[in-house]
Structure 1
Amino acid sequence: MTGLTNLKYYYFDLGTQGRGEPARLLLHDADVSFEDIRIEFKDWLAFKNEIIEDYPAAALPLVKTGDGEYYGLTAPLMRFLGQQLGYDAVDKKKSHFVDQTADFVSDWFQDCIRIFFQPDQQEVHDKNLKGIHCGRMERMYGRYNEGPYLLGEQITYADFMVYAAMRQDKVLGSLLEKDMPNLFKFVQAFENRKNLKEYITSLPTDEPQIVIPVE
Protein backbone atom coordinates (compact mmCIF):
# COMPACT_ATOMS: atom_id res chain seq x y z
CA MET A 1 0.00 0.00 0.00
CA THR A 2 1.26 3.47 -0.92
CA GLY A 3 1.65 5.62 2.18
CA LEU A 4 -1.98 6.54 2.79
CA THR A 5 -1.20 8.27 6.05
CA ASN A 6 -1.50 11.91 7.04
CA LEU A 7 -3.85 12.41 4.12
CA LYS A 8 -5.06 15.83 3.10
CA TYR A 9 -8.18 15.85 0.95
CA TYR A 10 -8.99 18.96 -1.05
CA TYR A 11 -12.22 19.96 -2.71
CA PHE A 12 -14.32 23.08 -3.09
CA ASP A 13 -16.51 24.13 -0.18
CA LEU A 14 -19.75 22.76 -1.66
CA GLY A 15 -21.02 20.60 1.17
CA THR A 16 -21.68 17.15 -0.31
CA GLN A 17 -22.36 18.53 -3.79
CA GLY A 18 -20.06 18.47 -6.77
CA ARG A 19 -17.44 15.75 -7.19
CA GLY A 20 -16.02 15.72 -3.68
CA GLU A 21 -18.18 13.26 -1.80
CA PRO A 22 -17.21 9.85 -3.32
CA ALA A 23 -13.69 9.89 -1.87
CA ARG A 24 -14.96 11.01 1.52
CA LEU A 25 -17.38 8.10 1.59
CA LEU A 26 -14.69 5.60 0.57
CA LEU A 27 -12.17 6.87 3.12
CA HIS A 28 -14.77 6.73 5.89
CA ASP A 29 -15.71 3.21 4.88
CA ALA A 30 -12.05 2.16 4.90
CA ASP A 31 -11.58 3.83 8.30
CA VAL A 32 -8.75 5.96 6.94
CA SER A 33 -8.32 9.27 8.71
CA PHE A 34 -7.87 12.39 6.60
CA GLU A 35 -7.92 16.16 6.87
CA ASP A 36 -10.93 17.40 4.92
CA ILE A 37 -9.92 20.75 3.43
CA ARG A 38 -12.72 22.77 1.80
CA ILE A 39 -11.44 25.46 -0.56
CA GLU A 40 -13.37 28.66 -1.14
CA PHE A 41 -13.61 29.74 -4.77
CA LYS A 42 -11.81 32.99 -3.95
CA ASP A 43 -8.79 30.97 -2.76
CA TRP A 44 -8.69 28.51 -5.66
CA LEU A 45 -6.34 30.37 -8.02
CA ALA A 46 -3.71 30.86 -5.32
CA PHE A 47 -3.92 27.19 -4.32
CA LYS A 48 -3.76 26.10 -7.96
CA ASN A 49 -0.60 28.11 -8.54
CA GLU A 50 0.88 26.59 -5.38
CA ILE A 51 0.45 22.97 -6.53
CA ILE A 52 0.72 23.18 -10.32
CA GLU A 53 4.46 22.51 -10.52
CA ASP A 54 4.21 19.25 -8.57
CA TYR A 55 0.72 18.39 -9.81
CA PRO A 56 0.34 19.51 -13.45
CA ALA A 57 -3.33 18.47 -13.62
CA ALA A 58 -4.04 21.19 -11.02
CA ALA A 59 -7.67 20.12 -10.56
CA LEU A 60 -9.91 18.96 -7.73
CA PRO A 61 -10.74 16.67 -6.01
CA LEU A 62 -7.23 15.95 -4.83
CA VAL A 63 -5.49 13.84 -2.20
CA LYS A 64 -2.04 14.68 -0.92
CA THR A 65 -0.39 11.79 0.88
CA GLY A 66 1.96 11.99 3.83
CA ASP A 67 4.93 11.44 1.53
CA GLY A 68 3.98 14.47 -0.56
CA GLU A 69 2.43 12.69 -3.55
CA TYR A 70 -0.68 14.07 -5.30
CA TYR A 71 -3.56 11.97 -6.67
CA GLY A 72 -6.55 13.68 -8.20
CA LEU A 73 -9.54 13.96 -10.50
CA THR A 74 -12.65 12.03 -9.58
CA ALA A 75 -12.49 8.68 -11.37
CA PRO A 76 -8.66 8.34 -11.40
CA LEU A 77 -8.52 9.23 -7.70
CA MET A 78 -11.27 6.77 -6.84
CA ARG A 79 -9.57 4.06 -8.89
CA PHE A 80 -6.27 4.73 -7.09
CA LEU A 81 -7.92 4.61 -3.66
CA GLY A 82 -9.76 1.47 -4.67
CA GLN A 83 -6.54 -0.24 -5.66
CA GLN A 84 -4.76 0.81 -2.49
CA LEU A 85 -7.57 0.02 -0.06
CA GLY A 86 -9.09 -3.13 -1.53
CA TYR A 87 -12.06 -1.70 -3.43
CA ASP A 88 -11.02 -2.90 -6.87
CA ALA A 89 -12.28 -5.82 -8.97
CA VAL A 90 -10.74 -9.28 -8.82
CA ASP A 91 -10.30 -9.80 -12.58
CA LYS A 92 -9.86 -7.76 -15.76
CA LYS A 93 -13.39 -8.25 -17.06
CA LYS A 94 -15.00 -7.05 -13.85
CA SER A 95 -12.44 -4.27 -13.50
CA HIS A 96 -13.44 -3.02 -16.95
CA PHE A 97 -17.10 -3.15 -15.94
CA VAL A 98 -16.40 -1.10 -12.81
CA ASP A 99 -14.45 1.45 -14.87
CA GLN A 100 -17.34 1.70 -17.35
CA THR A 101 -19.75 2.43 -14.52
CA ALA A 102 -17.42 5.07 -13.09
CA ASP A 103 -17.30 6.72 -16.51
CA PHE A 104 -21.09 6.80 -16.64
CA VAL A 105 -21.20 8.36 -13.17
CA SER A 106 -18.72 11.03 -14.26
CA ASP A 107 -21.27 12.00 -16.93
CA TRP A 108 -23.97 12.12 -14.24
CA PHE A 109 -21.85 14.41 -12.06
CA GLN A 110 -21.21 16.65 -15.04
CA ASP A 111 -24.94 17.02 -15.72
CA CYS A 112 -25.57 17.91 -12.07
CA ILE A 113 -22.71 20.40 -11.94
CA ARG A 114 -23.92 22.10 -15.13
CA ILE A 115 -26.95 23.27 -13.13
CA PHE A 116 -24.61 25.19 -10.78
CA PHE A 117 -23.94 27.47 -13.75
CA GLN A 118 -27.36 27.20 -15.41
CA PRO A 119 -29.94 26.89 -12.61
CA ASP A 120 -32.75 27.54 -15.08
CA GLN A 121 -32.01 24.09 -16.55
CA GLN A 122 -33.03 22.24 -13.36
CA GLU A 123 -36.50 21.39 -14.68
CA VAL A 124 -35.09 20.10 -17.96
CA HIS A 125 -32.58 18.00 -16.05
CA ASP A 126 -35.23 16.53 -13.76
CA LYS A 127 -37.54 15.76 -16.68
CA ASN A 128 -35.04 14.37 -19.18
CA LEU A 129 -31.68 13.45 -17.66
CA LYS A 130 -32.26 12.18 -14.14
CA GLY A 131 -34.31 9.23 -15.38
CA ILE A 132 -31.70 8.36 -18.00
CA HIS A 133 -28.92 8.21 -15.41
CA CYS A 134 -31.00 6.22 -12.93
CA GLY A 135 -32.14 3.79 -15.60
CA ARG A 136 -28.59 3.26 -16.75
CA MET A 137 -27.42 2.51 -13.20
CA GLU A 138 -30.37 0.17 -12.58
CA ARG A 139 -29.24 -1.78 -15.65
CA MET A 140 -25.60 -1.87 -14.56
CA TYR A 141 -26.53 -3.05 -11.06
CA GLY A 142 -28.54 -5.88 -12.61
CA ARG A 143 -25.47 -7.44 -14.22
CA TYR A 144 -24.17 -9.14 -11.06
CA ASN A 145 -27.42 -9.14 -9.11
CA GLU A 146 -26.62 -11.83 -6.57
CA GLY A 147 -25.64 -9.09 -4.13
CA PRO A 148 -26.42 -5.46 -3.46
CA TYR A 149 -23.33 -3.86 -4.98
CA LEU A 150 -22.18 -3.37 -8.55
CA LEU A 151 -20.24 -6.66 -8.49
CA GLY A 152 -22.66 -8.49 -6.21
CA GLU A 153 -21.32 -8.98 -2.70
CA GLN A 154 -18.08 -7.11 -3.41
CA ILE A 155 -18.12 -3.33 -3.01
CA THR A 156 -15.87 -1.34 -5.34
CA TYR A 157 -14.84 2.27 -5.75
CA ALA A 158 -17.61 2.85 -8.30
CA ASP A 159 -20.31 2.11 -5.71
CA PHE A 160 -19.23 5.17 -3.73
CA MET A 161 -19.47 7.30 -6.86
CA VAL A 162 -22.94 5.99 -7.68
CA TYR A 163 -24.29 6.66 -4.19
CA ALA A 164 -22.85 10.19 -4.18
CA ALA A 165 -24.40 10.96 -7.56
CA MET A 166 -27.79 9.61 -6.46
CA ARG A 167 -27.63 11.71 -3.33
CA GLN A 168 -26.64 14.85 -5.20
CA ASP A 169 -29.43 14.40 -7.74
CA LYS A 170 -31.96 13.93 -4.91
CA VAL A 171 -32.89 10.43 -6.04
CA LEU A 172 -32.66 8.69 -2.66
CA GLY A 173 -35.87 10.02 -1.14
CA SER A 174 -38.03 8.99 -4.09
CA LEU A 175 -36.42 5.63 -4.85
CA LEU A 176 -39.04 2.87 -4.95
CA GLU A 177 -38.25 -0.85 -4.83
CA LYS A 178 -40.92 -1.67 -7.41
CA ASP A 179 -39.43 0.74 -9.94
CA MET A 180 -35.69 0.20 -9.43
CA PRO A 181 -35.15 -2.91 -7.31
CA ASN A 182 -31.41 -3.13 -7.97
CA LEU A 183 -30.69 0.44 -6.91
CA PHE A 184 -33.09 0.14 -3.98
CA LYS A 185 -31.22 -2.91 -2.72
CA PHE A 186 -27.90 -1.17 -3.23
CA VAL A 187 -28.88 1.95 -1.26
CA GLN A 188 -30.25 -0.08 1.65
CA ALA A 189 -27.01 -2.04 1.93
CA PHE A 190 -24.73 0.95 1.38
CA GLU A 191 -26.35 3.16 4.01
CA ASN A 192 -26.09 0.39 6.59
CA ARG A 193 -22.40 -0.31 6.21
CA LYS A 194 -20.72 -0.27 9.61
CA ASN A 195 -18.30 2.58 8.96
CA LEU A 196 -20.72 4.66 6.88
CA LYS A 197 -23.98 4.58 8.81
CA GLU A 198 -23.06 7.27 11.34
CA TYR A 199 -21.36 9.47 8.74
CA ILE A 200 -24.29 9.34 6.31
CA THR A 201 -26.73 10.07 9.14
CA SER A 202 -24.70 13.18 10.00
CA LEU A 203 -25.02 14.64 6.49
CA PRO A 204 -27.55 17.40 5.87
CA THR A 205 -30.84 16.16 4.49
CA ASP A 206 -31.46 19.22 2.34
CA GLU A 207 -28.65 21.38 0.98
CA PRO A 208 -29.24 24.68 -0.81
CA GLN A 209 -28.80 24.68 -4.56
CA ILE A 210 -25.31 25.80 -5.57
CA VAL A 211 -25.36 28.75 -7.98
CA ILE A 212 -22.09 29.88 -9.52
CA PRO A 213 -22.34 33.16 -11.46
CA VAL A 214 -20.95 33.04 -14.97
CA GLU A 215 -18.93 36.17 -15.63
Structure 2
Amino acid sequence: MSQPVFHYLDLGRLGRGEVVRLFLKDAGVDFKDIRYPYDATWPAASEDLKKKGITLTGKLPVIEYKGKILGQHIPILRYFSRELGSYEGDSNFEKYVVDAVSDLYIDWRVQWVASLKGVTDEYKNKIVPDYYNLVSRYYAERGGPYLLGDKITYADFAIYQSIDNDERTGTLPTLPENLVKLRKAFEQRPRIAEYIASGRNSKV
Protein backbone atom coordinates (compact mmCIF):
# COMPACT_ATOMS: atom_id res chain seq x y z
CA MET A 1 0.00 0.00 0.00
CA SER A 2 1.25 3.48 -0.87
CA GLN A 3 1.89 5.66 2.17
CA PRO A 4 -1.04 8.02 2.84
CA VAL A 5 -0.22 11.58 3.89
CA PHE A 6 -2.64 12.71 6.58
CA HIS A 7 -3.25 16.43 7.14
CA TYR A 8 -5.09 17.62 10.22
CA LEU A 9 -5.12 20.22 12.97
CA ASP A 10 -3.15 19.58 16.15
CA LEU A 11 -6.21 19.09 18.36
CA GLY A 12 -5.21 15.91 20.16
CA ARG A 13 -8.22 13.66 20.71
CA LEU A 14 -10.82 16.25 19.77
CA GLY A 15 -12.24 16.62 16.31
CA ARG A 16 -12.93 14.70 13.13
CA GLY A 17 -9.36 13.86 12.29
CA GLU A 18 -8.79 11.68 15.32
CA VAL A 19 -11.43 9.24 14.04
CA VAL A 20 -9.33 8.73 10.90
CA ARG A 21 -6.09 8.50 12.87
CA LEU A 22 -7.49 5.81 15.18
CA PHE A 23 -8.74 3.85 12.16
CA LEU A 24 -5.38 3.95 10.38
CA LYS A 25 -3.56 2.99 13.56
CA ASP A 26 -5.84 0.02 14.16
CA ALA A 27 -5.50 -1.13 10.54
CA GLY A 28 -1.71 -1.01 10.78
CA VAL A 29 -1.48 1.50 7.93
CA ASP A 30 1.82 3.38 7.88
CA PHE A 31 1.02 7.03 7.20
CA LYS A 32 2.72 10.41 7.34
CA ASP A 33 1.01 12.49 10.02
CA ILE A 34 1.15 16.25 9.38
CA ARG A 35 -0.42 18.40 12.10
CA TYR A 36 -1.09 22.11 11.83
CA PRO A 37 -1.31 24.43 14.85
CA TYR A 38 -4.85 25.67 15.40
CA ASP A 39 -3.88 29.20 16.34
CA ALA A 40 -3.42 32.59 14.70
CA THR A 41 -1.34 30.97 11.94
CA TRP A 42 -4.11 28.64 10.79
CA PRO A 43 -6.05 30.99 8.43
CA ALA A 44 -2.89 31.61 6.39
CA ALA A 45 -1.98 27.92 6.46
CA SER A 46 -5.48 27.04 5.29
CA GLU A 47 -5.23 29.40 2.32
CA ASP A 48 -1.81 27.97 1.46
CA LEU A 49 -3.20 24.43 1.45
CA LYS A 50 -5.98 25.57 -0.90
CA LYS A 51 -3.47 27.15 -3.28
CA LYS A 52 -1.43 23.94 -3.29
CA GLY A 53 -4.55 21.92 -4.12
CA ILE A 54 -4.33 19.85 -0.93
CA THR A 55 -7.81 20.91 0.19
CA LEU A 56 -10.62 22.36 -1.91
CA THR A 57 -12.35 24.04 1.01
CA GLY A 58 -9.46 25.02 3.25
CA LYS A 59 -10.75 22.55 5.82
CA LEU A 60 -9.20 19.36 7.20
CA PRO A 61 -8.86 16.39 7.56
CA VAL A 62 -7.49 15.50 4.17
CA ILE A 63 -5.48 12.51 3.00
CA GLU A 64 -3.20 12.45 -0.03
CA TYR A 65 -3.21 8.92 -1.41
CA LYS A 66 -2.20 7.47 -4.77
CA GLY A 67 -2.26 10.90 -6.37
CA LYS A 68 -5.75 11.67 -5.11
CA ILE A 69 -7.03 14.08 -2.48
CA LEU A 70 -9.51 12.51 -0.06
CA GLY A 71 -11.59 14.78 2.17
CA GLN A 72 -14.48 14.41 4.67
CA HIS A 73 -13.66 12.06 7.51
CA ILE A 74 -16.44 9.48 7.20
CA PRO A 75 -16.01 9.07 3.42
CA ILE A 76 -12.27 8.68 4.10
CA LEU A 77 -13.07 5.79 6.44
CA ARG A 78 -15.37 4.22 3.84
CA TYR A 79 -12.68 4.55 1.18
CA PHE A 80 -9.99 2.87 3.23
CA SER A 81 -12.40 0.17 4.41
CA ARG A 82 -12.93 -0.75 0.77
CA GLU A 83 -9.23 -0.43 0.04
CA LEU A 84 -8.46 -2.84 2.87
CA GLY A 85 -11.41 -5.14 2.22
CA SER A 86 -12.48 -4.88 5.85
CA TYR A 87 -14.17 -2.64 8.44
CA GLU A 88 -17.50 -2.16 6.60
CA GLY A 89 -19.43 -5.42 6.91
CA ASP A 90 -19.88 -8.23 4.41
CA SER A 91 -23.49 -8.19 3.20
CA ASN A 92 -25.35 -5.24 1.75
CA PHE A 93 -27.48 -5.11 4.89
CA GLU A 94 -24.44 -5.01 7.17
CA LYS A 95 -23.02 -2.18 5.08
CA TYR A 96 -26.34 -0.38 5.36
CA VAL A 97 -26.28 -0.67 9.17
CA VAL A 98 -22.73 0.69 9.29
CA ASP A 99 -23.71 3.61 7.03
CA ALA A 100 -26.86 4.33 9.05
CA VAL A 101 -25.04 4.52 12.37
CA SER A 102 -22.29 6.63 10.80
CA ASP A 103 -24.96 9.08 9.67
CA LEU A 104 -26.28 9.29 13.23
CA TYR A 105 -22.74 10.14 14.32
CA ILE A 106 -22.49 12.89 11.68
CA ASP A 107 -25.70 14.44 13.01
CA TRP A 108 -24.25 14.29 16.53
CA ARG A 109 -20.98 15.88 15.38
CA VAL A 110 -22.80 18.95 14.05
CA GLN A 111 -24.51 19.43 17.42
CA TRP A 112 -21.29 18.80 19.37
CA VAL A 113 -19.36 21.41 17.39
CA ALA A 114 -22.15 23.93 18.02
CA SER A 115 -21.97 23.14 21.74
CA LEU A 116 -18.33 24.26 21.87
CA LYS A 117 -19.62 27.84 21.77
CA GLY A 118 -21.60 27.11 24.92
CA VAL A 119 -23.27 23.94 26.11
CA THR A 120 -27.04 24.28 26.22
CA ASP A 121 -29.43 22.39 28.48
CA GLU A 122 -31.03 20.96 25.34
CA TYR A 123 -27.72 19.53 24.14
CA LYS A 124 -26.72 18.05 27.48
CA ASN A 125 -30.12 16.82 28.66
CA LYS A 126 -31.87 15.84 25.43
CA ILE A 127 -29.74 15.71 22.28
CA VAL A 128 -26.87 13.71 23.75
CA PRO A 129 -28.90 11.17 25.77
CA ASP A 130 -31.24 10.64 22.81
CA TYR A 131 -28.26 10.07 20.51
CA TYR A 132 -26.60 7.43 22.69
CA ASN A 133 -29.88 5.69 23.41
CA LEU A 134 -30.64 5.46 19.69
CA VAL A 135 -27.15 4.23 18.82
CA SER A 136 -27.41 1.71 21.64
CA ARG A 137 -30.44 0.11 19.99
CA TYR A 138 -28.34 -0.75 16.94
CA TYR A 139 -25.61 -2.27 19.13
CA ALA A 140 -28.17 -4.28 21.10
CA GLU A 141 -29.32 -6.11 17.97
CA ARG A 142 -26.06 -8.07 17.67
CA GLY A 143 -24.82 -8.32 21.23
CA GLY A 144 -21.61 -6.34 20.74
CA PRO A 145 -19.07 -5.39 21.66
CA TYR A 146 -19.01 -3.84 18.19
CA LEU A 147 -21.83 -2.75 15.94
CA LEU A 148 -21.68 -6.00 13.97
CA GLY A 149 -20.98 -8.21 16.97
CA ASP A 150 -17.35 -9.32 17.06
CA LYS A 151 -16.46 -7.56 13.76
CA ILE A 152 -15.22 -4.00 14.16
CA THR A 153 -16.29 -1.50 11.51
CA TYR A 154 -15.49 2.11 10.73
CA ALA A 155 -18.70 3.15 12.49
CA ASP A 156 -17.29 1.86 15.79
CA PHE A 157 -14.43 4.33 15.51
CA ALA A 158 -16.89 7.19 15.03
CA ILE A 159 -19.10 6.17 17.95
CA TYR A 160 -16.07 5.71 20.19
CA GLN A 161 -14.88 9.18 19.24
CA SER A 162 -18.24 10.73 20.11
CA ILE A 163 -18.09 9.11 23.55
CA ASP A 164 -14.54 10.33 24.09
CA ASN A 165 -15.27 13.87 22.91
CA ASP A 166 -18.43 14.25 24.99
CA GLU A 167 -16.50 13.09 28.02
CA ARG A 168 -13.79 15.67 27.38
CA THR A 169 -16.32 18.50 27.14
CA GLY A 170 -18.22 17.36 30.23
CA THR A 171 -21.35 16.43 28.30
CA LEU A 172 -21.26 12.63 28.43
CA PRO A 173 -24.39 11.13 30.02
CA THR A 174 -24.56 7.77 31.74
CA LEU A 175 -24.02 5.40 28.83
CA PRO A 176 -26.13 2.36 28.02
CA GLU A 177 -24.26 -0.79 29.05
CA ASN A 178 -23.58 -1.95 25.50
CA LEU A 179 -21.76 1.31 24.71
CA VAL A 180 -19.70 0.91 27.88
CA LYS A 181 -18.84 -2.53 26.51
CA LEU A 182 -17.88 -1.02 23.15
CA ARG A 183 -15.57 1.50 24.75
CA LYS A 184 -13.80 -1.12 26.84
CA ALA A 185 -13.32 -3.49 23.90
CA PHE A 186 -12.15 -0.67 21.63
CA GLU A 187 -9.51 0.58 24.06
CA GLN A 188 -8.22 -2.97 24.55
CA ARG A 189 -7.43 -3.46 20.87
CA PRO A 190 -3.61 -3.82 20.79
CA ARG A 191 -2.75 -1.01 18.37
CA ILE A 192 -5.33 1.34 19.89
CA ALA A 193 -4.09 0.61 23.42
CA GLU A 194 -0.51 1.27 22.31
CA TYR A 195 -1.49 4.53 20.64
CA ILE A 196 -3.45 5.79 23.66
CA ALA A 197 -0.62 4.80 26.02
CA SER A 198 1.88 6.74 23.89
CA GLY A 199 0.16 10.00 24.87
CA ARG A 200 0.45 11.29 21.30
CA ASN A 201 -3.24 12.09 21.20
CA SER A 202 -3.67 13.33 24.77
CA LYS A 203 -3.93 17.05 24.02
CA VAL A 204 -7.43 18.49 24.46
Q: Sort the TM-score into its range (normalised by shorter chain).
A: 0.7 to 0.9
Deviation at 1:12, TM superposition (A): 2.0
Alignment of 1:34-183 (within 5 A): 34-40=31-37, 41-42=42-43, 43-51=45-53, 56=56, 59-65=59-65, 67-85=66-84, 86-116=86-116, 118-119=117-118, 121-145=119-143, 147-170=144-167, 180-183=176-179
Determine the C-alpha separation between the residues in 2 that align with 1:204 and 1:167. 15
RMSD: 2.5
What is the TM-score when the length of structure 1 is the normalising length? 0.81
Q: Percent identity?
A: 31
Q: Which runs of no fewer than 5 residues in structure 1 stay unpaired?
A: 209-215
Determine the C-alpha separation between the residues in 1 that align with 2:201 and 2:32. 23
Determine the C-alpha separation between the residues in 1 that align with 2:29 and 2:178. 29
Deviation at 1:60, TM superposition (A): 2.2
Deviation at 1:64, TM superposition (A): 0.7
When structure 1 is superposed on structure 2, of 101-110 and 67-76 the one drifting more is 67-76
What is the TM-score when the length of structure 2 is the normalising length? 0.85
Deviation at 1:128, TM superposition (A): 2.5
Match among 29, 34, 45 for residue 32 of structure 1: 29
CA contact (8 A) 2:187 2:193 kept: yes
Match among 1, 12, 15 for residue 12 of structure 2: 15
Seen in structure 2, the aligned counterparts of structure 1 residues 22 and 45 have a Cα distance that, compared at 3 Å, is: same
Determine the C-alpha separation between the residues in 1 that align with 2:189 and 2:52. 37
Deviation at 1:56, TM superposition (A): 4.5
